[in-house]
Amino acid sequence: MDDARFDGVFFDPESSGLGEHFAVISVSGRRRRRRYPAGCVQVVASEAEARALASADGNRVAAVVAGPSKSSENVEIYYPVRWLDRTQEAG
């Protein structure tokens, strides 16, 4: 079975659980984290909605995320794939 890759995260493309979504991530400081708990991520329907909900102060950032996934601590997490206010990959 082939695996797809999200910036170092491997998953089964036939799985219905892990997918790519538009979202707004609540961040504090730098955006260097490779994963964010679900409590920091608001999944939305479109890129336009994510951009509209992002804050000018940079604490709520529009992004494309992969997830949800369960961490080893059994916490639901999302992986940033791309920040929508930047052209480079997230991470």
pLDDT digits (tens, 9 = 90+) for 13-39: 555 567 899 999 999 877 778 899 999
How much is the pTM? 0.76
Mean pLDDT across the chain, nearest whole number?
Answer: 82
DSSP characters for 32-53? --S-EEGGGEEEES-HHHHHHH
- pLDDT score of 1: 29
Non-local CB neighbours of 62 within 8 Å, separated by 6+ positions: 22, 23, 24, 47, 50, 51, 53, 54, 83, 84, 85
Which is higher by pLDDT, 89 or 26?
26
Position 71 pLDDT exceeds 80: yes
